Structure formats: structure tokens, C-alpha cells
Amino acid sequence: MAYEIDFIGIENIIGVYDGGLQACGEKLQENLHKYYFDDEQDDKIIDFVICSHSDLDHISSSFE
């Protein structure tokens, strides 16, 4: 099952809750750049990452 949850209302703070499977890493990166990072911004920072638990379907995604 594929799904996405966005939390809106925290100004200028970007967080990731569970990265997903490794195959989701590129899509996660794409969504962060498309919806959250300003193109003119030099430093693209994720302020926090929450891992609900250590199963691979929650932690094995990688992104830059």
C-alpha cells in the first residue's frame, strides 16, 4: 500500500516521519524538492526525522 502523509502548519520547518523502503528514497527526495525546498535556497535542510520503529519498511530509504 502506497500512501503519503503531510503535516502542514509548522512554518519553515521540514520533517520526515519514517523514510520508507529503499525504493521510496528517490520519490521522497523528489517530493521534498518539489513541495518543500525553495529552488533559490542554497542549504536544503531537513530539521528532524522521526523513526517510529526500526523495521526496514520504515528506515531503509536513503535521500540526499
CB 62 within 8 A of CB 21: no
The β-bridge partners of 16 are 49
What is the tens place of the pLDDT at every residue in 4-56?
Answer: 666 666 777 888 887 777 777 778 888 888 888 877 777 788 888 888 777 77
* pLDDT band at 3; cut points 50, 70, 90: low
Please check the confidence at residue 63 and state whether its pLDDT lies above 60. Answer: no
CB 50 within 8 A of CB 5: no
Q: Give residue 14's pLDDT.
A: 84
Q: Give residue 42's pLDDT.
A: 77
